[in-house]
Amino acid sequence: MSEKPRICPALAFLVVALVLSTGACQKKSPAAEEVPATRERVAPSPVGTSQIVLQKTFTVSGSAKFPFEIPAHAATPHLHGNYKSFVPQPGVQSNDDTANVDFLILTESQYADFAAGRAGEALFSADAAHNQDVDVSLPPSLDQPQKYYFIFRNTPGGAAKKVVKADFSADF
């Protein structure tokens, strides 16, 4: 009768451990598209910063729009500033009711409705004013920048052409 060779249990354990550890060391690296770049995962926080969003003098005969953007990760964006409108006349600037303009702050979807001629709500509005201070808290921007629009619109019954001086900043 022939005797079967016996394998030492310690040797068998070492062989199995060696095979398993060799497989574990050959970890495949994910494709380049699967690993987001560090700059895409972490964005600088705008908290504690300010930005001028509109500082301009311009004319309004129909309406004028000025887009602005709140950066991503702005937890408590706050918009503040003022505008003054007047009717340019030789030698004097009239800033009575003939210089009134309507002022709106619209979100991107509200602006789409406005541009399509559909009446809708505004984030902020001031009707028929020629000297207006504005102090508005905006919604948090979360992980995407948010676009807004300033709309200055000539009011009926006043001068056909008005000059507006606007100065607005946003704090984050």
User: Going from the N-terminus, what domains does the chain have, and what CATH number goes with each?
Assistant: 50-171 (2.60.120.380)
DSSP bridge pairs for 129: 101
pLDDT of the chain along its 172 residues, tens only?
A: 555 556 555 555 545 555 555 555 455 544 444 544 444 545 556 677 899 999 999 999 999 999 999 999 999 999 999 999 999 876 656 668 899 999 999 999 999 999 999 988 999 999 999 999 999 999 999 899 999 999 999 998 888 999 999 999 999 8
pLDDT at 39: 46
pLDDT at 96: 80
Query: Is the model's pTM score more than 0.75?
Result: no
Neighbour-count burial of 69, counting CB atoms closer than 10 A to its CB (0-12 exposed, 13-18 middle, 19+ buried): middle
Q: How far is CA 153 from the centre of its chain?
A: 24
pLDDT at 154: 95
Alpha carbon separation from 8 to 11, 12, 13, 20, 123 (Å, rounded):
5, 6, 9, 19, 80
